[in-house]
Amino acid sequence: MKILTGNSNRPLAEAISAFLNLPLTNASVRRFSDDEVFVEIHENVRGEDVFLIQSTCYPANDNLMELLVALDALRRASARRVTAVIPYYGYARQDRKSGSRTPISAKLVANLITAAGAARVLTIDLHAGQIQGFFDIPTDNLFAAPVFVNDILEKFDGEEITVVSPDVGGVVRARAIAKRIDADLAIIDKRRERAGVSEVMNIIGDVAGRRCILVDDIVDSAGTLCNAAVALRDAGATSVCAYVTHGVLSGNAVARVTSSPLEELVTTDSIPATQAVRVAQNIRQLTIAPLLGEAMRRISDERSVSSLFDHPPV
C-alpha cells in the first residue's frame, strides 16, 4: 500500500499518512512555464496498491488536471490498483440538467477519472448520492456524520437540540444526525431565485427555546446558512450553529459568516482552510483523516467499509 498526494490538500494527506504510519510516496507535481501539469513519481510503484489523495477544490480545474495526470502516471508506472481518494468531489453540484442545453459535469468528471486510470474512488459526502452511479468503477461514499456526532455530543451534552436541514434536499442527511443524537428535526423551506441567492420562506418544526444545529454538505457563498440562521433566531431559537462537511467558502463567504447570527460554523478539512478561515472567530475545522485513513486501510485489506460507521475510528 502506497499513498501519493497532489497539491490540493497536502495537510490532510500528511494527517492520513501519520494515522496509517505510512510515509507519503516521493513524487513531484509541478508546472511548466505555460502552466501545464507535470507529475513525476520517484519511487517504484509496480504492483502496488496506490491511493492518490486529491480534492478538486479551488482552483478546481488545476486540481482536477493534477488528479488526472497523476492517475495516468501511476497507471503507466504499472501500479496494480489505483484508488482516487477525493475528499471533496468538485463539479458535484452539476449532477443533472438544470436547464436547456446545460451539461451534467459531474458525470463528465467521473468519465475523465475512470479513463485516466482509477480502479476505484473513495470520497466523502457527495452532494447527491446518485453520483456514485456516474462511475463504472467501485465508488465508496463515506459520511462525515460520525465525526460531527462525536463533536456535537461532546459540546451539547444534555441540552435541548433541534437539528435543522437548510433545505428539503438535505433532510435525509439531517435526519441521520438527529437520530444518532436523539434530537428533534426541523426543515427550512426556501425558494431560490437564482444561483447563489436564497430566500427563506417557512420553518417546519418547533425551534423556539432550542439550540439549533444546521446540517449541510457544502457551504459556498454561505447565503443559505446565514439566511437560515436569521430565520431560526427570529423564530425563537436560543442559538444557531452549523455543521457542514465541505467548506468551499468562496468570495465574501467568511465575512458573511462572521457577521451572521451563527454562533459557530464547523467544517471538515476536506478542503484546506484559507487564511481568512483560520483567523475567523466562529469557524472551526474537524479532521476527517482518521475516517479516510481507516477506510483506505480496509479497502487495501479487502475488508468491509460500511461497518466503519458502526464503529468509527477515533
Task: Enumerate the active-site residues.
Answer: 190
Q: Using only C-alpha atoms, what is the Rg of the chain?
A: 20
How far from chain centre, in Å, is Cα 140?
A: 13
Strand partners, 185: 163
279 by DSSP, 3-state: which? helix
Strand partners, 124: 142
- Give first-to-last CA distance, the chain, whole Å: 22
As a whole number of angstroms, the distance between CA 38 and CA 212 comes to 47
Number of H helices, E strands in the chain: 9, 14
Which CA distances in Å does 11 have to 24, 50, 169, 241, 276?
12, 19, 31, 26, 17
Ranges assigned E (strand) in the chain: 2-5, 27-31, 37-41, 49-53, 81-86, 120-124, 139-142, 161-165, 184-194, 197-204, 211-219, 239-247, 264-268, 283-286
Contacts from 101-110 at CB under 8 Å and sequence distance 24+?
A: 106/131, 106/134, 107/134, 109/56, 109/64, 110/134, 110/135
